[in-house]
Amino acid sequence: MGLKYINVDKDADIANAHADVWKDLGIRLERFDNMTEAIQKLLTDTEYLCILINSDTVDFMPLLSTMRSLTNIPILIATANFTTQKEVEALENGADLFTHWHEKPEDNMASVMAHVTQLSERSKLPRPSTKVMVYKGLLIEPLQRRVFVSNEHIDLTRQEYDLLHYLMINHGKVLSYKQIYKRVWGIGHEDADPAVLRNAIKRLREKLKADYIKTALDYGYSFPLDSDK
């Protein structure tokens, strides 16, 4: 398949200009619009040369540390609006480089390749273990109890988070009202009014702005079978 790298950049024109230059070296670009999509790819494929992020088109900071926890390959961030404060924050959260965009794609590539070569030994280390779960733009980070949808942080209550997490770790299974109440609300709530759970699901769906949760009429709820962990 040859060498390839991840490019996180909403601007397809800029990405394509760089892709043509990299192609001459036999290196293929895989572009993603946001960090969530790139992270989902990293969960299933680790054979990348580096990750290059355009910070002028992508809000990378909320999920940078998550990305760092998934891989040892170099994470390189470029910007036309460089500040020392942004650089320090990026480096503290796992970036290997935070630098200026060069006007010529060839100059950007030369800078990236120099850092990739310098960091190549670390990329050979074992891949870190992770508990991150991703499904079609929805990302759950259990250690920090954080939820993102297409790169946007979703503010959930403790109960809403526990409900989503319980459904997601049991993807493909239909969970009954009793099972959900017992796990999320606690022992002694198994026979609570189903309307309470229905309202909780409704609020959760509204916050996620997508119908990830499927209804089993008069029985319970489930998360799709094809979710990716």
**What is the tens place of the pLDDT at every residue in 65-122?**
999 988 888 899 989 888 888 998 999 898 988 988 776 666 666 677 776 766 655 5
**Contact at 8 Å (CB) between 97 and 74?**
yes
Is the pLDDT score of 64 beyond 90?
yes
* pLDDT (tens digit per residue) in 115-173: 676 665 555 545 545 578 888 889 998 878 899 998 899 999 988 999 999 999 888 88
Architecture of domain 133-222: Orthogonal Bundle (1.10)
Cα separation, 88 vs 227, in Å, equals 35
Residue of 53, 115, 61 whose CA lies nearest to 85: 61
Q: What pLDDT does residue 228 have?
A: 42
Looking at per-residue pLDDT, the higher value among 87 and 18 belongs to 87
Helix (H) or strand (E) holding 54: strand 51-54
Is the pLDDT score of 33 beyond 70?
yes
Which pairs with CB-CB distance under 8 Å and at least 24 residues apart come from 136-143? 136/210, 136/212, 137/36, 137/37, 137/210, 138/36, 138/208, 138/210, 138/212, 139/36, 139/39, 139/40, 139/63, 139/66, 140/164, 140/165, 140/168, 141/66
Q: What pLDDT does residue 112 have?
A: 73
- Whether domain 3-124 has CATH 3.50.30.60: the reply is no
**Contact at 8 Å (CB) between 7 and 28?**
no
Are the folds of 3-124 and 133-222 the same?
no
Q: What pLDDT does residue 49 have?
A: 85
Over residues 15-19, the mean pLDDT reads: 82
Is the pLDDT score of 38 beyond 60?
yes
Over residues 177-190, the mean pLDDT reads: 85
| Torsion, CA 36, CA 42, CA 44, CA 45, rounded to 10 | 140
How far is CA 213 from its chain centroid? Answer: 19
Helix (H) or strand (E) holding 204: helix 194-208
Helix (H) or strand (E) holding 162: helix 158-169
Q: How confident is the model at residue 227 (pLDDT cuts 50, 70, 90)?
A: very low
* pLDDT (tens digit per residue) in 196-225: 999 999 999 999 988 899 999 889 999 986
Q: Is 77 helix (H, G, I), strand (E, B) or coil?
A: strand
Tell me the domain boundaries of the chain.
3-124, 133-222
Q: What pLDDT does residue 10 have?
A: 93
Q: What pLDDT does residue 147 have?
A: 93
